[in-house]
Amino acid sequence: MLALLGRLIAEEPASLASIATLLAAETGAECCSIHLQRADGRLELAASEGPCPQILESPTPPPLAAGSLHLPVRRAGRLVGALVLRRPGGASFTTEEHEAIGLAAVLVAPNLAAAVARPPEPATFTTPEAARRFSGRTLVPGLVIGPAVLPGLPAPQRLTADDPEAELARLHRAVAAMRREIDALIAAGPEASRKGAGVVRDVLEAYRLIAADPAWLRRVCEMIHTGLSAEAAVHRVAGELRERMRRIPDAYLRERTADIEDLSGRLLAALDEAAGASPVEPTPGAILLARRLGPAELLTWHARGLAGLVVEEASSTSHAAIVARALGIPTISGVHGLIEAAEPGDEIVLDAAEGGPRGDGSLAQAVLRPSPEQRRIYSQALEAARQRLASLATLQDRPATSRDGVAVRLMLNIGLPLELAQLDATGAEGIGLFRTEIAMMARGAVAEVAEQAAIYSQVLEVAGARPVQFRTLDLGGDKLLADNDAPTETNPAMGWRSLRVGLDRPSLMRRQLRALLLAAAGRELSVMFPMVATIAEFRAARALLLAEAERVRPMPARLRVGTMLEVPALMWQIDALLAETDFVSIGTNDLMQFLYAADRTNPAIASRYDLLAPAMLGLIADVAARARAAGVPLSVCGEAAGRPIEALTLVGLGVTSLSMPAPAVLPLKAALGALDVAEFGTFLRGLCRNQNGASSLRTDITIWLQERNVCG
């Protein structure tokens, strides 16, 4: 809601009717009314989605029915209006929803203030339209509008066959054609997709291993021998494998369900093609709706002009998600019911937002058959986003400096060589976090030393004089590989993962450290260890690195060894740690979930705790002060560093190095240019001193930034 509302009003004042329509749709309210504060003190209805009273007698909340919410809207401390929302059936608003609507009121305040200054106009009313919204999680951010495409495995028309040998021959020809197609995709990858070539090749190589596995094809042959046609046998085995794999506890192996279905679909297509069938070509700009999706199938759709993807069953580590990120295809997952409700060609708005107010991804959604008014709103938001992107491009070569002259180093979080082009595109000063496990996940296994060294060498070569901080393999938890023998754990995020895996499997860690040292080839090398909980763990990991450095020639021109600050226990060892480390990087994602004992992958509590809470702000301010006193560089590389309000707050607390996804760099440069860091820092210190047990300071911080036109 907040991301879309911000895009809607970013370039020019949006109509109050549009805002009312958007707020009602986003909150599930049957009525949303916007009221203006007139000179006589009354609140006059200016726009409404659904029937609402014309006048509220006072700015104080009137007696409201169950399921209603009344919020005053202020601009620079002055009351300018109110929002009133009502849900059907008396359904109440949660605390998180109440806070999000409160932030929406902050965004709407300038529009209401402008409307108050104008003479009264006739109120504008709209009625609900037959549009449906489906919520999900963002895998790749973006906003697109297009027609729906619904692929799937069609039921075979011919179930039985009298000649098994003839069916087996058809199957073998289809298998050969499928494998040739996969080989062609791999060979053509760099040319077919100038961006994403490296990751596409890695993923398809892992995918080809599944295609070459004789086990599932053997089962198809067995089904043919029972009298089934080749198509029916493939369809039957695909269904069996799908049900069996969905029950597997291992998240990585479950994700391979989509690969099996992709291969089955290719086999069926090859069999149909032999019978003279021709595939249906989608309209360019289409949005693909799928329950599961394999990487090769996604590439095929991308070549046909695919603009967006909605997939029911996928995580950020699935092959389809990795390829979608590489190709820049806006993607959301966890959307249930859309496939049943949609028909081919139905218009869909795919709003894959960067994340909710706390970055939990809760704003991702698909709007099926949007009303004319909704389509106009989204089209306006899309055009505003394009214009803003063009405007931000002018900041590419400018330094990231605040209004009062504070220089801030903005760097990138990346995990694949193909993302290196973003260094020049954004003007980022380097790579603050290179996630070495992402390339390994793309290929499905930890590569040997030479292959790893080639990846790291390419990164250093492209970066040139710009710094690169390599994080060692952060495996375990929700990031498992097929060759990872991780134990089954009740809470894997707090179990055998990350540095703990490396220290318990030193041969695995030594291979990676040796590859990093070989890649440096006499250049500067910065290595940081994740999930460090004790100084002893940091020392053990550093000792492995230094031992490998003695065996590699030439040695790096300079070897910097750092650590992630993600485990709260390090806070009670911070001074001793700073005496031994060359740099520290705060990982807000894990630090938040460990500090509050709140699993960030659990939607029931993922957004319950806020980075802009007194506890987190105090912790970060303390670390920044201690690092500054010790002369140790400090950065923040968690997701929060890429969200404007959080990022500016980090700068106000004294953090002057931030690492983030590429799309966040230029907007943050623009926001920094409008910020007086000294004034903001004074405000934050006073706010933290007088927080009075507040669970979050987000609203106060947002209002302060909004009133100074820093963040909007």
Summarised one tens digit per residue, pLDDT across range 289-332 is 987 776 667 767 777 788 999 988 776 656 677 677 767 789 99
What's the confidence (pLDDT) of residue 337? 80
Question: Which run of H or of E encompasses 595?
Answer: helix 588-595
Q: Is the pLDDT of residue 129 over 50?
A: no
What's the confidence (pLDDT) of residue 276? 42
Among candidate residues 70, 235, 302, 319, the one labeled active-site is: 319
Go through 636-660 and write b for each residue having 16 or more CB atoms within 10 A of its CB, e for each that does not. Answer: bbbbbbbbbbbbbbbbbbbbbbbbb
What's the confidence (pLDDT) of residue 550? 92
The lowest-confidence range among 66-70, 408-412, 457-461 is 66-70
Return d(Cα 128, Cα 30) in angstroms, integer: 8
Spatial contact of 312 and 293, defined as CB atoms under 8 Å apart: no
**pLDDT single digits (tens) 642-663:** 888 999 999 999 999 999 888 8
Spatial contact of 675 and 651, defined as CB atoms under 8 Å apart: yes
What's the confidence (pLDDT) of residue 39? 62
Phi-psi label, residue 355: left if phi above 0, alpha if psi -120 to 50, beta otherwise: left
Q: What count of other Cβ atoms lies within 10 Å of the Cβ of residue 42? A: 14
What's the confidence (pLDDT) of residue 362? 45
Q: Is the pLDDT of residue 192 over 70?
A: no
What's the confidence (pLDDT) of residue 600? 67
Q: Is the pLDDT of residue 93 over 80?
A: no
Taking residues 507-520, what's their average pLDDT? 94
pTM of the model: 0.65
What's the confidence (pLDDT) of residue 293? 77
Q: Which token pair is 278?
A: 């021709």
What's the confidence (pLDDT) of residue 378? 87
Examine residue 554 and say whether the peptide bond preceding it is cis (omega within 30 degrees of 0).
yes
Spatial contact of 514 and 449, defined as CB atoms under 8 Å apart: yes
β-strand pairing of 409-414 with 142-149: unpaired
Instruction: Please provide residue 48's backbone torsions phi and psi, each rounded to the nearest 5 degrees.
Output: -155, 145
Q: Which token pair is 187?
A: 């060979």
Spatial contact of 107 and 74, defined as CB atoms under 8 Å apart: no
Strand order in the sheet with 331-333: 132-135, 365-368, 347-352, 142-149, 287-290, 308-311, 331-333, 137-140
Taking residues 628-639, what's their average pLDDT? 93
- The alpha-helical segments, DSSP class H, found in 599-676 are 614-630, 644-652, 665-673
The lowest-confidence range among 457-471, 508-522, 605-619 is 605-619
Secondary structure (3-state) at 432:
strand
Spatial contact of 48 and 16, defined as CB atoms under 8 Å apart: no
- Classified by CATH at the fold level, domain 396-707 comes out as TIM Barrel (3.20.20)
What does pLDDT average to over the chain?
78
Taking residues 509-521, what's their average pLDDT? 95
- Higher-confidence residue: 51 or 436? 436
What's the confidence (pLDDT) of residue 652? 96
At 540, which amino acid appears? Answer: A
- Higher-confidence residue: 149 or 246? 149
Q: Is the pLDDT of residue 102 over 70?
A: yes
Question: What are the structural domain ranges in the chain?
Answer: 2-128, 143-389, 396-707
Secondary structure (3-state) at 350:
strand
The lowest-confidence range among 160-169, 407-416, 639-648 is 160-169
Q: Which of 557, 493, 559, 483 is nearest to 531 (CA)?
A: 493
The lowest-confidence range among 31-40, 115-124, 400-409, 578-587 is 115-124
Q: How confident is the model at residue 68 (pLDDT cuts 50, 70, 90)?
A: confident
Q: How confident is the model at residue 282 (pLDDT cuts 50, 70, 90)?
A: low
Domains 2-128 and 396-707 share a fold: no
β-strand pairing of 124-126 with 347-352: unpaired
Q: Catalytic site residue 225?
A: no
What's the confidence (pLDDT) of residue 26? 75
Q: What count of other Cβ atoms lies within 10 Å of the Cβ of residue 463? A: 18
Class of the CATH domain delimited by 2-128: alpha beta
Return d(Cα 175, Cα 178) in angstroms, integer: 5
Q: Catalytic site residue 637?
A: yes
What's the confidence (pLDDT) of residue 589? 83
- Whole-Å CA distances, 508 to 501, 538, 542: 9, 17, 15
Instruction: Please give the DSSP secondary-structure letter assigned to residue 547.
Output: H
Spatial contact of 163 and 380, defined as CB atoms under 8 Å apart: no
Spatial contact of 295 and 203, defined as CB atoms under 8 Å apart: yes
Measure the CA dihedral 214/218/219/225, to 10°.
170
What's the confidence (pLDDT) of residue 430? 96
The lowest-confidence range among 5-19, 345-359, 659-673 is 5-19
- Whole-Å CA distances, 666 to 7, 385, 387, 641, 673: 15, 13, 13, 13, 11
**pLDDT single digits (tens) 251-271:** 444 555 556 666 666 677 777
Q: Is the pLDDT of residue 482 over 50?
A: no
What's the confidence (pLDDT) of residue 156? 60
Q: What count of other Cβ atoms lies within 10 Å of the Cβ of residue 472? A: 26
What's the confidence (pLDDT) of residue 443? 64
- Whole-Å CA distances, 487 to 251, 325, 425, 472, 476: 12, 29, 42, 21, 9
Please state, for a pLDDT cut of 90, what percent of the chain lies above it. 29
SS3 content of the chain, % helix, strand, coil (to 5): 50, 15, 35
Q: How confident is the model at residue 622 (pLDDT cuts 50, 70, 90)?
A: very high
Q: Which token pair is 284?
A: 């360019």
What's the confidence (pLDDT) of residue 138? 84
What's the confidence (pLDDT) of residue 275? 46
Instruction: Please provide residue 703's backbone torsions phi and psi, each rounded to the nearest 5 degrees.
Output: -60, -45
Q: Is the pLDDT of residue 128 over 50?
A: no
- Altogether, the residues listed in the chain come to a count of 712
Q: Is the pLDDT of residue 372 over 60?
A: yes
Label residue 445 exposed, middle or buried (CB < 10 Å: 0-12, 13-18, 19+).
Answer: middle
Please state, for a pLDDT cut of 70, what percent of the chain lies above it. 71
User: Is 1.10.274.10 the CATH number for 143-389?
Assistant: yes
Among candidate residues 31, 52, 637, 711, the one labeled active-site is: 637
